[in-house]
């Protein structure tokens, strides 16, 4: 299957998201689609997959122009897209999500058999009767891939598929993509900011910058070469930095946490002012449960949580926010932001000081934060129209300026190298003024670079590295696999 894009244009108000883009995509290859945040990558892929119409231009498949409206029409001609946030229905079971969009004549028994067959072929483990809400991000991606394959797609588009999944899930995903490309002749388009993933997986790359196609390159290529293509210049490696660490601000005293996936028992630690603590582990190992227990989204089964000596163990999420905790969720549109609301409306929601909304003040503050956080969007734009990276920037813009403790799930999720570094500079500025930071990330380099202490989780167990400067990515990898005994020797 060969796809050709001819002179694609797409505007959102004043933003020319795609500006005269033409390219040919050959079958049987894995093609990386690179560019900084807001470069137009996701917009182009949504046009190709029917989620958005182009303002002008043409799409040719095997030499024939197609004019489809909507993702179902795109799937009918063989093009399907896995969104950065999979579009499953949380209340449906796995098999019910699989059935969604399949031919009406397909029975539930036939769907279970087809689901099992494709899952087995690619090493996916999907229980057909498990509600989608209980799946990890990696499993939700697997479910969507299986569903698209059952619908007969021949070109598979993946938008930031390794964001928020474990190393083990990434290996399974990569093996599946290579089998689809090399054994079944499918075209795979990989939109990613993780250059190490592109280097490991792709046969070639195309690069967008400010809405234009600025380059393409056959692989292999070095990380430095790809960065040069994306930004027009090299970016120096980030060096470790340290700040002044003060007294304890957040105390966990023999805390036990039980959620639906894991149990963490008797964890005690003091989080000190100006300290950065990185949490590492496979998805569902306990790090997410710890963070949510700290902010009151999960009740602790035992022990005490204190902030500046005040017992918050039975306090609500809202009370903890007022006390000086700040939380940012990894699921941007699921938990952190509200689809359908504008940037200004999000800003108004954050103002608890008035009974009535001061709209002029909210618009003025939105404009200030848009400029400060370099968000490519306008105050009146709905949040879902922004790119994933710009949604992440707006999440950061909504956080309090100087909380006592910031608890951040994947704070650089979906950000390019330069943007991720810029976000960390903002966080480290807050650390310099005494804010403690607890964060998790699937990027072990990020954890090693920015942490003062590291806590590694495996199936509810945990291992503390008191001095993160002694840690290496390789050593963390062994610990994440549960090899705590060797580390203790």
Instruction: For 371-422, write each residue's pLDDT tens digit.
Output: 998 888 899 999 988 887 888 889 989 999 899 999 999 998 878 888 888 8
Residue 227's φ and ψ, nearest 5 degrees, are: -60, -40
Structure tokens at 253: 């005293």
Closest CA to 52 of 33, 31, 38, 73: 73
Whole-angstrom Cα distance, residue 162 to residue 142?
Answer: 12
Q: Residues 46-73: what's their mean pLDDT? A: 93
Pair 164, 257 in one domain: no
Pair 267, 131 in one domain: no
Name the E strands within 69-109: 79-82
In-domain check, residue 105:
yes
Pair 254, 223 in one domain: no
Residue 361 has pLDDT above 70, yes or no: yes
pTM of the predicted model, to two decimals?
Answer: 0.76
Whole-angstrom Cα distance, residue 397 to residue 346?
Answer: 10
- Write out the residue range of the structural domain in which residue 477 sits: 248-324+401-488
Residue 351 has pLDDT above 90, yes or no: no
Tell which wins on pLDDT, 443 or 342.
342
Q: Are strands 248-258 and 64-66 parallel, antiparallel or unpaired?
A: unpaired
Residues 382-411 as b/e (b if ≥16 CB within 10 A, e otherwise) read ebebbbbbbbbbbbbbbbeeebbbbbbbbb
Residue 100 has pLDDT above 90, yes or no: no
Q: Where are the alpha helices (DSSP H) in 217-358?
A: 223-231, 287-294, 317-323, 343-349
**Concatenated DSSP letters for 227-261?**
HHHHHSS--PPPPP------SEEEEEEEEEEE-SS
In-domain check, residue 331:
no
Other Cβ atoms less than 10 A from the Cβ of 352: the count is: 9
Tell which wins on pLDDT, 161 or 164.
161
Pair 170, 131 in one domain: yes
Q: Residues 64-76: what's their mean pLDDT? A: 91
What is the per-residue pLDDT for 239? 72
Output the CA–CA distances (angstroms, integers) from residue 222 to 41, 196, 217, in the order listed.
21, 9, 11
In-domain check, residue 204:
yes
Final residue of a domain: which of 199, 231, 263?
231
DSSP 8-state code for residue 333: I
What is the per-residue pLDDT for 237? 66
Contact at 8 Å (CB) between 77 and 61? yes
Q: Mind listing the pLDDT tens digit for each residue in 45-59? A: 999 999 999 999 999
Give the whole-number percent of the chain exceeding pLDDT 90.
62
In-domain check, residue 264:
yes
Pair 109, 221 in one domain: yes
Pair 153, 268 in one domain: no
Contact at 8 Å (CB) between 138 and 106? no
Pair 168, 278 in one domain: no
Contact at 8 Å (CB) between 421 and 238? yes
Strand (E) or helix (H) holding 43: helix 41-48
For the chain, give the longest Cα–Cα distance: 69
Closest CA to 229 of 247, 205, 252: 205
Pair 78, 169 in one domain: yes
Residue 483 has pLDDT above 70, yes or no: yes
What is the per-residue pLDDT for 488? 54
Q: Residues 303-325: what's their mean pLDDT? A: 95
Tell which wins on pLDDT, 99 or 87.
99
Final residue of a domain: which of 181, 202, 231?
231
Contact at 8 Å (CB) between 409 and 329? yes
What is the per-residue pLDDT for 487? 57
Structure tokens at 19: 């500006």
Highest mean pLDDT among 29-38, 190-199, 241-250, 289-298: 289-298
What is the per-residue pLDDT for 444? 87
Mean pLDDT, the chain, integer: 90
Output the CA–CA distances (angstroms, integers) from residue 115 to 146, 184, 359, 400, 483, in the order listed.
7, 18, 50, 45, 34
Q: Mind listing the pLDDT tens digit for each residue in 182-238? A: 989 999 999 988 888 999 999 999 999 989 999 899 999 998 889 888 887 777 666
In-domain check, residue 332:
no
Give the whole-number percent of the chain exceeding pLDDT 70.
98
DSSP 8-state code for residue 85: S
Q: Mind listing the pLDDT tens digit for each residue in 318-349? A: 999 999 999 999 888 888 899 999 999 999 98
Pair 101, 202 in one domain: yes
Whole-angstrom Cα distance, residue 294 to residue 407?
Answer: 8
In-domain check, residue 79:
yes
What is the per-residue pLDDT for 241? 74
Tell me which of 150-154, 323-327, 485-489 is least confident.
485-489
Pair 8, 147 in one domain: yes
Whole-angstrom Cα distance, residue 70 to residue 47?
Answer: 9
HEC-encoded secondary structure of 391-422: HHHHHHHHCCCCCCEEEEECCCCCCCHHHHHH
Residue 486 has pLDDT above 70, yes or no: no
Final residue of a domain: which of 185, 200, 231?
231
Q: Residues 278-295: what's their mean pLDDT? A: 92
**pLDDT band for position 14 (cuts 50, 70, 90):** confident
Provide the domain count of the chain.
3
What is the per-residue pLDDT for 264? 94
What is the per-residue pLDDT for 164? 65
Pair 108, 221 in one domain: yes
Q: For residue 287, how far is the Cα from the chain centroid?
A: 16
Pair 464, 344 in one domain: no
In-domain check, residue 239:
no
In-domain check, residue 432:
yes
């Amino acid at each position: 299957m060969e796809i050709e894009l001819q002179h694609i244009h797409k505007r959102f108000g004043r933003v020319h998201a795609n500006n005269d883009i033409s390219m040919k995509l050959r079958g049987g290859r894995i093609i990386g689609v690179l560019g900084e945040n807001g470069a137009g990558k996701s917009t182009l892929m949504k046009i190709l997959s029917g989620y958005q119409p182009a303002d002008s231009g043409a799409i040719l498949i095997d030499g024939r122009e197609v004019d489809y409206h909507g993702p179902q029409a795109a799937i009918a001609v063989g093009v399907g897209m896995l969104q950065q946030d999979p579009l499953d229905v949380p209340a449906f079971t796995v098999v019910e999500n699989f059935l969604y969009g399949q031919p009406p004549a397909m029975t539930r028994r036939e769907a279970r058999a087809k689901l099992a067959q494709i899952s087995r072929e690619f090493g996916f483990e999907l229980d057909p009767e498990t509600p989608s809400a209980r799946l990890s991000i990696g499993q939700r991606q697997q479910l969507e891939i299986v569903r698209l394959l059952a619908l007969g797609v021949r070109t598979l588009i993946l938008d930031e598929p390794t964001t928020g999944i474990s190393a083990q899930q990434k290996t399974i995903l990569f093996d599946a993509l290579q089998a689809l490309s090399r054994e079944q002749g499918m075209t795979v388009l990989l939109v990613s900011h993780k250059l190490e993933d592109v280097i490991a997986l792709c046969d070639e790359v195309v690069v967008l910058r400010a809405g234009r196609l600025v380059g393409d390159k056959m692989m292999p290529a070095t990380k430095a070469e790809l960065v040069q293509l994306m930004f027009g210049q090299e970016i120096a490696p980030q060096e470790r930095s340290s700040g002044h660490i003060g007294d304890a601000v957040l105390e966990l005293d023999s805390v036990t946490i039980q959620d639906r996936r894991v149990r963490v028992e008797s964890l005690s630690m003091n989080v000190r002012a100006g300290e950065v603590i990185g949490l590492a582990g496979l998805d569902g190992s306990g790090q997410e449960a710890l963070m949510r227990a700290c902010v009151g989204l999960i009740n602790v089964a035992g022990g005490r949580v204190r902030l500046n000596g005040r017992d918050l163990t039975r306090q609500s999420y809202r009370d903890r926010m007022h006390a000086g905790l700040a939380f940012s969720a990894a699921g941007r549109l699921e938990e952190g932001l509200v689809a359908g609301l504008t940037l200004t409306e999000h800003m108004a929601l954050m103002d608890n000081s008035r009974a009535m909304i001061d709209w002029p003040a909210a618009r003025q503050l939105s404009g200030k934060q848009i400029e400060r956080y370099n968000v490519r969007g306008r105050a009146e734009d709905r949040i879902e129209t922004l790119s994933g990276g710009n949604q992440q920037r707006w999440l950061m813009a909504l956080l309090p300026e100087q909380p006592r403790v910031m608890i951040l799930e994947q704070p650089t999720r979906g950000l390019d190298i330069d943007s991720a570094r810029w976000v960390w500079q903002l966080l480290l500025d807050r650390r310099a003024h005494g804010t403690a930071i607890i964060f998790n990330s699937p990027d072990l380099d990020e954890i090693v670079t920015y942490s003062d202490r590291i806590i590694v989780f495996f199936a509810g167990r945990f291992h503390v590295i008191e001095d993160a400067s002694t840690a290496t990515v390789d050593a963390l990898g062994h610990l994440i696999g549960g090899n705590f005994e060797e580390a203790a020797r």
